[in-house]
Amino acid sequence: MPPNPITHRIYDFLKEIPPFSYLDKEVILQLCERVEVQYHSKGARIFEKGEQPRERFFVIREGAVDLQDLTGEEPVLIEHCGEGELFGIRPLLAEDAYQLRAVTAEDTLLYAIHSDGIREQLDDYPKVSFYLASVMARGRGNRAERLIHKNQINPISGGLLELQAIHRAKPAVTCAPNLPTFEAAEIMTEEDVSYIVVVDEKRHPLGILTDRDIRRNIATGVFGRKRLIKDVMTTPVVCVPPELSIAEIQIAMVKYEIYHLAVTEDGTMNSPINGLISEQDLLVLHGNNPAVLVREISRSLTGGYLRELRERAEVLLRQYLEQEVSISYITTIMTEINDEIIRRCVELSIQELVTEGRGEPPRNFSWMCLGSQGRGEQLLRTDQDSALVYENDADDNEESASVKAYFLDLAERTTEKLYAVGYDYCSGNMMASNPSWCQSVSGWKDVFSRWMDDPSQENILNVSVFFDFRCVFGTAGLTDELTDHIFHNIEHTGIFRNFLARAALQNPAPLTFFRNFMVERSGEHKDSFDLKARAMMPLTDAARILILTAKRGGINNTIRRFQALAELEPQNAEVYQNAADAYETLIRLRALIGLRRGDNGRYIKPGELTRLQRVLLRNTFTPVSDIQELIEVRFQLNFIR
């Protein structure tokens, strides 16, 4: 029987497109035999939000398809898909209803691929699973991440929430720099706005005056009402380019703690202003947004309200996961929310001490997050891992004792407040309220040196928790000093590196000979799979020892560590990128399970996973094995076991 020319025509197209390009020719041809060719005119609806999926997903052969969010009153464009792009794969991954509407943007030719044909290949072609999982892990679109890498925006870090752009920034109310302040205030009143942008003759923004500035500087008498606006305005103005996504706008407002963004032609102060976006504009578009949450946290006066805000953040987290938002964006936003809660708890504790007559902190200090929050990976409320470092003690032992007593009191109050918010106490007491974890700079240096000179099992455990530290509140320079000390010691203690590397191999790739999950054999979690210890920790431990050896400070996040390593070692880039992709999948899976069960998602019963989730989880173990093999060879661990 002669070959079907249509099947081969489809094959010639699909063989160049991931994930089909990862399959053998015979497998692709089998898929092509079941492909349904569909033609749709412009404006046709391929599927609706909430619709139960048919057993197929789509590849665009010609034309374009718009994916729209129907949450608001009007459909909002989320992604514009063109030739060769896949869409409608969520049911293949999550096995639930469509979350978006798909509408053809022009006359379009589609290939409808039968889902079973791909599912059948997941076990034999891990790259297909990785590709599909990475699509879900990274979310739709990478526009913000491209801008971030090009330094066109300066966010907290990567990813998107809503990809829709704000196309209609409000026209900006402007004035010249030599205008008296009272006249500017009159213009603001007449235009019914809370700001005025100061521009030069080319309409380049020079500064901005807001109601808050008037209250702070004019109403209080700091400046006279006739003072020129150029002397009172806030400068520089934070500028963004046109058609920025809501996610990018949210990130910028959170990052710079501002209420207004100027829209200019090139996104800088060196081009004419086109309009202005305010926090109120975001509230209209998306009431429960992270910028508003962070600001509410910073104003909170009670632990009860902080707990309520954290619960609202988990509602956002659930929405982000359901909308397939990128993991990098999710971890960025949740980390900023967690950080702000910690900062507020420290601030409230200091206020209590001042009210009681204990005064302000006697020395500069830094409150440090450790573990998953130190790495910026804590999506769910788990236990607290923290430490405190303060400026070196004076020679006066009595003063040193009083200084430490103050900071221990501060730490105890802060950990109590965090517990009230829902963050459990650390079972190992690795918290700043523990005298051993509240030290001066010199004290911490002595501790680090002792750990590194004596790499016992306990000391290695301490290192694995502590060496992901990050300053959340206070003087960042103190933590920088500790980082420099660690790198100096590592350079002169080769045996410590080897012990730390060996510890990274304590949990081997977690599959039995028969490709079953290694579950707990006894105890409270009998027959459960420990997602943290058996899948995530091997990757976090590996990323830590490799980035420490590379002496790259300031990179705590596991995914970004692997990405940095891929740039440093192009010859191992594929291993590192696979490890990063696997970790994204694990973070998403743990968060989904934890939210569903109302716990931290650490222990899972293999039976509670869908078949595809089991396959995706199993396929993350291959990068664990690959990265551990790389470490074993690099540190020659086969000679010291």
What CATH number is attached to the domain comprising 61?
A: 2.60.120.10
Domain assignment present for residue 12? The answer is yes
Most confident of 383-397, 536-550, 613-627: 536-550
Domain assignment present for residue 265? The answer is yes
Domain count across the chain? 3
Do residues 112 and 229 share a domain? no
Do residues 201 and 279 share a domain? yes
Do residues 527 and 612 share a domain? yes
Domain assignment present for residue 353? The answer is no
Do residues 610 and 531 share a domain? yes
Q: Which of the residue ranges 219-223, 400-404, 407-411, 520-524 would you say has the lowest mean pLDDT?
A: 219-223
Do residues 633 and 497 share a domain? yes
Residues paired with 112 in a beta bridge: 36, 58
Which token pair is 614? Answer: 């089991």
Domain assignment present for residue 156? The answer is no
Confidence of residue 140 (pLDDT cuts 50, 70, 90): very low
Instruction: Say which residue, 133 or 369, is predicted with more confidence.
Output: 369
* Three-class secondary structure of residue 18 per DSSP: coil
Domain of 211 in residue numbering reads as: 174-285
Domain assignment present for residue 417? The answer is no
CB atoms within 10 A of CB 476: 13
Domain assignment present for residue 401? The answer is no
Which of 558, 523, 217, 592 is CA-nearest to residue 372? 558
CATH number for 547? 1.20.120
pLDDT over threshold 60, residue 164: no
Out of 58, 90, 121, pick the residue that ends a domain.
121
Do residues 502 and 640 share a domain? yes
Q: How do residues 406-440 score in pLDDT, each as one tens digit?
A: 999 999 999 999 999 989 998 889 999 999 999 99
pLDDT over threshold 80, residue 384: yes
Domain assignment present for residue 398? The answer is no
Do residues 117 and 195 share a domain? no
- Helices 573-597 and 327-355 cross at an angle (nearest 10°) of 60
pLDDT over threshold 80, residue 218: no
Do residues 64 and 195 share a domain? no
Do residues 108 and 186 share a domain? no
Out of 285, 314, 341, pick the residue that ends a domain.
285
Do residues 103 and 185 share a domain? no
Confidence of residue 549 (pLDDT cuts 50, 70, 90): confident
Note the pLDDT of residue 1: 41
- CA 94, distance to chain mean position in Å, is 21
Confidence of residue 154 (pLDDT cuts 50, 70, 90): very low
- CA 605, distance to chain mean position in Å, is 27
**C-alpha dihedral, 30 to 32 to 36 to 42, nearest 10°:** 160
Q: How far apart are alpha carbons 475 and 614 in whole angstroms? A: 45
User: Which pairs from 596-599 meet CB under 8 Å and 24+ separation?
Assistant: 599/380
Domain assignment present for residue 220? The answer is yes
In this prediction, what percent of the chain has a pLDDT beyond 70?
83
Q: What is the DSSP letter of 112?
A: E
Which of 535, 521, 538, 506 is CA-nearest to residue 614? 535
Note the pLDDT of residue 639: 53
Which of 251, 257, 278, 263 is CA-nearest to residue 195? 278
Residue spans of alpha helices (H) in 69-174: 90-94, 115-119, 126-138, 143-149
Out of 243, 258, 285, pick the residue that ends a domain.
285
CATH number for 241? 3.10.580.10
8 A C-beta contact, residue 588 and residue 139:
no
Residue spans of alpha helices (H) in 455-608: 457-466, 476-492, 494-503, 531, 537-549, 558-568, 573-597
8 A C-beta contact, residue 102 and residue 45:
yes
